[in-house]
Every structure is written in C-alpha cells, then in structure tokens.
C-alpha cells in the first residue's frame, strides 16, 4: 500500500514539498491554519511567485480539470491525523523580535495540535530549520501527547531548497539528509524518497543533532562564502582591484568553486541572515559561542554592504540626498522570487529615502510585497518610468530583464547618467558607451 503523506504549513517550503510529493505518486493532504491560503491552493493557485509551482499544483490538485487529484488541502487537524502515515512539518521558524534566537512557536504549536490526535502508527518528520536539540525535545513531546504511544516516531529531514528553484531542488535535491533514532523511521523515509534516491540522490542517515546541524552548517558556509567575497570587494575598492575578475580567478580552483562568489550588496531573504543569527544564539546556549564568533563578522560584513551602497549613492548624488531622485531597480531579495523578506535592495532604498531622496522602485514580481512593507517609497510600472528624472540609478536585484535594458533608451529619460551596480551583473562597457558613469562594488571606476 502506498504511504499517505501530509504536509503541515503551506508556505514556500510546504506548498512545494506537497506538490513534489504528489508528483512522486503519493496521495498528499496539505494543512495550513490560514483558510485564505488553503482556498487559493484548492483553486490550484500559488499564494506566492515560484517558477513552475503553479503547473505542478495544477497537475495534482483535486478538482482541477485533468489533474491526478492526488493533492488536497484542509484546515482540519483531525483530517490530517486520520489520513497520514507520514506528517511533514514545514512551518516557519522566524527570528524572534529583537533577538538573535529563532522563534519555535509555530513548530511547537503544530506538534501540540497534531500529536494528541495521533491514534494510529505515524511518523512525524520535521523539515523546518531549527536550533540543534529541537528534534530530541519534540520527540519527547510527541511521546507524551500521542495516544498511539510508541507507534508514533519522529525524524528530522532538513530542507535545502532555494527560492526561485524550489521545484527543481525538491524533485532533484543535491542530497537528502535524515536524522532518525531507529530503523523504522529510516525505512519509511527511504520509501518516501525512493525515486530521487534511485535517480542518484545521496541519502545521508544521521542522528537528530547531526541532521539539524547539517542545515545550520550549510547555511553558515554559504553566508561565509558571500561575506568573504564581499570583504575582498572592500579590499579591491581600497587597492584599485577588480573583485569580479578576482572571484573568477579563485573560482577556477575546484576546492574553492565559482558559485556563491558574487560580490555586491550582500545576502538577504527569509533564511541565511536569520539562520546564522539563530545558530550563534544556540551555540551560546550550548557554551560553544566561541566556535561561531566568525559568523558575527560574516553578518557585519554583510550589513556593511548595504550602508556602503547608501554612501556610494550619496557620493553619486553630489554629497547630499535632499532634492535628488533615485531610481531603484529591484526590490526582492533575489531574482525569480516575489519575496522581499530582509531584502538588501529594499533596505538600501529605505535608508536613502529616510535620508531625504525621492526614491522610485521597480521590480518585476515584488512590487505588491514591497509596497506593503515600504508604503512610503514610490513605485513605477516599468524600469524606464522608475529611471525618468533620476539623478542616480541603482541596480539592486539581478533580474535578467535588467541585464537586457537598453542603456541608451534610459539615458534619454534620466536627469543624470549615473548608474551603480549593486549586483555586478550589468555590462559596464555597454552602459559607459551609452554615456553613463558606471560604478560597481569592488570594481575600479573607469
Ligand atoms: C538559501 C540556501 O541557498 C538554501 O539552501 C536554504 O535552504 C535557504 O537559504 P535562498 O534564501 O532561497 O536559499 O537564497 P540563495 O539563492 O541562497 O541566496 C541568498 C542571498 O544571497 C540572496 O540575497 C542572494 O542575492 C545572495 N547572494 C547569493 C549573493 O549576494 N552572492 C552570491 O554569490 C550568491
């Protein structure tokens, strides 16, 4: 008999995981406490922008013409408990307000709602990013609450998906990591992931603590790589070097690799910044804070990128923002996403606005979310309109369509031809040929 799966929490992670599990052939029931989100998903629509996810949903959501009907959504915990053999917990673990530590309240409430209803054998699988030690604590909580007793087990299966690539990362992950206490949980998870494993995805079995730490370590490493190259950008600027050339050259060494060496205004989003902070907070609780002091530096190099961009813009505006118009291209924390959580682009736009400039933003997908978060900024319907009358143009999120802009056309509407590339993906030569003063982070001014 095929396993029945449930997915608790239908944000980026949960919605993608639910659809991907249906694609693998399982019957899946997704739950969210937000009825509006559930209505949207039932209609086969995605509550956020994630390439390919709408097609995947349409292929499986029950009631949609031509779908397999394997994917359903509910707000009922009882239905979830009755239905599932394996329950994936995919709720978010944001940074606590005013603290580094992570807020576990959504995970805790999910376990407290589900466990007392588990009257038959089941495996609860955590996928959220959590402080090390959470799985052991939650396993004890499940044992205390579940009427089925020993027949309910818990495993930890961290998720590594990137926004913008969520579907491909979930269907064909680089690796699957499971933290388990016993053979039954491992056997069930091998059954769930049989297809990707048969296609060659490595399946790493570990204890709870190691599985939780794999995720913390991976995100710390990626953040460190970005801050490393941004630190090199600072030195390049001081010495007159070119960080883009430098990254290319060191990246040819296989041991270093070329990925995640793009210097610019740094990392943001709902994961990397809060994950490294939560990791430091947890290490402190464990008495291992010294081991992670370097992450404090990683974080401060990253935040310094944003203020540096503000300073470069001030310089470009002749030393003062008052009476100046600044065009900001990009609002999301990365391209191919509508996510503006801890977006470096919006942070820079907000700082410049607060210091007196008139800021107009354009983003291909993030306008609605940006306007909700930063209602005092101005928003333009196109890049060209944002640039109209601007004294400086900032390129802050590297959408492909910004690389395809015609600098000559923009030159015709700007008040001053000054462009600052905060992502190092525009072609300096092209812009300079169209009469622009082109400045980039960690690169010489020609
Ligand atoms: C990240 C991890 O990659 C993923 O494995 C984890 O599960 C969640 O966190 P995501 O937040 O979707 O994924 O974005 P990612 O593609 O990692 O980019 C993070 C940030 O780093 C973005 O703001 C991006 O612009 C920035 N970045 C990335 C750089 O500044 N330079 C780079 O070279 C790469």
Location of structure tokens 């890049």: 383
Distance CA 96, CA 278 (A): 9
Confidence of residue 272 (pLDDT cuts 50, 70, 90): very high
Structural domains counted in the chain: 3
User: What is the value of ipTM here, to two decimals?
Assistant: 0.96
- Specify whether 147 is located in the same domain as 107: yes
Kindly state the percentage of the chain with pLDDT values over 70: 100
Hey, which of 159, 222, 264, 347 would you mutate to test ligand 1's pocket, going by the most ligand atoms within 8 Å of its Cβ? 222
Same-domain check for residues 249 and 345: no
Q: Are residues 199 and 240 in the same domain?
A: no
Measured on CA atoms in the order 231, 273, 89, 338, is the torsion positive or negative? negative
How many residues are present in the chain? 446
Q: Minimal CA–CA distance to 327: which of 402, 267, 372, 378?
A: 378
Tell me, yes or no, whether 66 and 202 share the same domain.
yes
Q: Is residue 82 part of a domain?
A: yes
Instruction: List the residue whose alpha carbon is closest to atom 34 of ligand 1.
Output: 260
End residue of a domain, out of 161, 181, 206: 206
Contact 386, 407 (CB under 8 A): no
The answer to whether residue 388 sits within a structural domain is: yes
Cα(444) to centroid(ligand 1), Å: 26
Centre of ligand 1 from the C-alpha of residue 12, in Å:
14
- CA dihedral sign, ordered 407, 411, 414, 417: positive
User: Is there a single domain that holds both residue 239 and residue 363?
Assistant: no
Q: Whose CA is nearest to atom 19 of ligand 1?
A: 267
Q: In what order do the strands lie in the sheet with 358-362?
A: 378-379, 358-362, 325-329, 392-395, 418-421, 437-440
Q: Is there a single domain that holds both residue 89 and residue 200? A: yes
Torsions phi, psi for 211 (to 5 deg): -60, -40
CA distance 389 to 270: 33
* pLDDT score of 47 more than 90: no
d(CA 5, CA 167): 18
Q: Quick one: tokens of 305?
A: 């990128």
The answer on 27 and 149 residing in a single domain is: yes
What is the residue with the minimal CA distance to atom 8 of ligand 1?
A: 271
- Per-residue model confidence as pLDDT tens digits over 153-188: 999 999 999 999 999 999 999 999 999 998 899 999
345 CA → ligand 1 middle, Å: 14
- 429, two tokens: 């030569």
Let me know whether 37 and 145 are in one domain: yes
Considering the domain architecture, whether residues 289 and 333 belong to the same structural domain is answered as no
Give a yes or no: residue 178 inside a domain. Answer: yes
Confidence (pLDDT) at 408 = 98
Ligand 1 centre distance from Cα of residue 272 (Å): 7
- Spatial neighbors of 200 by CB under 8 A, at least 6 apart, are none
CATH code, domain carrying 193: 3.40.50.720
Name the residue at shortest CA distance from atom 16 of ligand 1. 162
Distance CA 414, CA 391 (A): 7
Instruction: Give the global pTM.
Output: 0.96
Q: Is residue 266 part of a domain?
A: yes
Instruction: Specify whether 375 is located in the same domain as 275.
Output: no
Q: Is residue 21 part of a domain?
A: yes
Q: What is the CATH number of the domain that holds 236?
A: 1.10.1040.10
- pLDDT reported for residue 1: 72
Domain stop point among 171, 206, 241: 206
Mean pLDDT of the chain: 97
Ligand 1 atom showing the smallest separation from residue 344 Cα: 23
What phi-psi label fits residue 162: left (phi over 0), alpha (psi between -120 and 50 degrees) or beta? beta
92 and 45 in one domain?
A: yes
Does 354 lie in the same domain as 258? Answer: no
Catalytic residues: 271
Q: Measured from the CA of 343, which atom of ligand 1 is nearest? A: 23
Each residue of 364-385: pLDDT tens digit? 999 999 999 999 999 999 999 9
**Domain final residue pick, 145, 180, 206:** 206
d(CA 194, CA 213): 24
Query: Does residue 446 lie within any of the structural domains?
Result: no
Residue 226 lies in domain = 216-299
| Ligand 1 pocket, Cβ-based, cut-off 6 angstroms | 159-163, 219, 222, 226, 260-262, 264, 266-269, 271-272, 333-334
Any domain includes 445 = no
Q: How many CB atoms lie within 10 A of CB 202?
A: 11
Residue 245 token pair: 């050339």
Strands 86-89 and 176-179: unpaired
Q: What is the position in ligand 1's atom list of the atom closest to the CA of 159? A: 7
Give the number of the atom of ligand 1 that is nearest the alpha carbon of residue 164: 12
Backbone angles phi, psi at 288, to 5 degrees: -115, 25
Nearest CA to ligand 1 atom 7: 160
- The alpha carbon of 266 and the centre of ligand 1 are apart by a number of angstroms equal to 9
Give the DSSP per-residue string, 343-384.
Answer: -HHHHHHHHHHHTT-EEEEE-SS-HHHHHHH-TTSEE-SSHH
Q: If you write DSSP's letter for every residue of 297-352 in order, what string do you get?
A: HHHHHHHHHHHHHHHHHHHHTTT--TT-EEEEE--SSSSS----TT-HHHHHHHHH
Q: Is residue 423 domain-resident? A: yes
Q: How far is ligand 1, taken at its centre, from the CA of residue 331, in Å? A: 15
Write down the pLDDT at residue 417.
98
């Amino acid at each position: 008999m095929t396993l029945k799966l449930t997915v608790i929490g239908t944000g980026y992670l949960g919605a993608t995981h639910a659809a991907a599990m249906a694609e693998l052939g399982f019957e899946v029931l997704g739950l969210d406490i937000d009825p509006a989100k559930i209505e949207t998903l039932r209609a086969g629509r995605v509550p956020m922008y994630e390439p390919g996810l709408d097609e995947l949903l349409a292929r499986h959501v029950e009631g949609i013409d031509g779908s397999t009907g394997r994917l359903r959504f509910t707000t009922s915990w009882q239905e979830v408990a009755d239905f599932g053999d394996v329950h994936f917990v995919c709720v978010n673990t944001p940074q606590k307000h005013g603290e580094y530590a992570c807020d576990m309240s959504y995970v805790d409430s999910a376990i407290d709602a589900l466990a007392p209803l588990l009257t038959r054998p089941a495996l609860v699988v955590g996928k959220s990013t959590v402080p090390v030690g959470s799985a052991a604590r939650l396993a004890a909580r499940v044992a205390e609450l579940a009427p089925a007793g020993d027949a309910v087990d818990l495993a930890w299966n961290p998720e590594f998906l990137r926004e913008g690539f969520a579907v491909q990362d979930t269907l064909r992950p680089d690796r699957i990591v499971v933290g388990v206490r016993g053979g039954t949980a491992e056997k069930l998870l091998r059954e769930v992931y049989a297809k990707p494993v048969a296609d060659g995805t490595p399946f790493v079995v570990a204890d709870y603590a190691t599985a939780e730490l794999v995720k913390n370590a991976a995100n710390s490493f990626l953040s460190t790589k970005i801050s490393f190259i941004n630190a090199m950008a600072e030195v390049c600027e001081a010495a007159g070097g070119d960080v883009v050339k430098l990254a290319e050259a060191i990246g040819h060494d296989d041991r270093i690799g070329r990925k995640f060496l793009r210097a610019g205004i740094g990392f943001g989003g709902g994961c990397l910044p809060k994950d490294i902070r939560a990791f430091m907070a947890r290490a402190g609780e464990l008495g291992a804070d010294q081991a992670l002091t370097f992450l404090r530096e990683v974080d401060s190099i990253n935040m310094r990128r944003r203020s540096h961009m503000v300073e470069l813009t001030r310089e470009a505006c002749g030393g003062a923002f008052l009476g100046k118009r600044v065009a900001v291209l990009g609002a999301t924390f990365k391209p191919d996403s509508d996510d503006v959580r801890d977006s470096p682009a919006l942070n820079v736009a907000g700082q410049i606005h607060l210091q007196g400039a008139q800021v107009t933003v354009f983003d291909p997908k993030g306008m609605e979310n940006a306007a909700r978060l930063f209602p005092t900024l101005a928003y333009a319907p196109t890049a060209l309109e944002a640039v109209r009358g601007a004294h400086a143009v900032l390129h802050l999120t590297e959408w492909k369509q910004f690389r395809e802009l015609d600098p000559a056309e923009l030159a015709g509407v700007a008040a001053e031809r000054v462009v600052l590339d905060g992502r190092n993906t525009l072609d300096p030569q092209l812009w300079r040929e169209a009469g622009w003063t082109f400045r980039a982070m960690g690169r010489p001014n020609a």
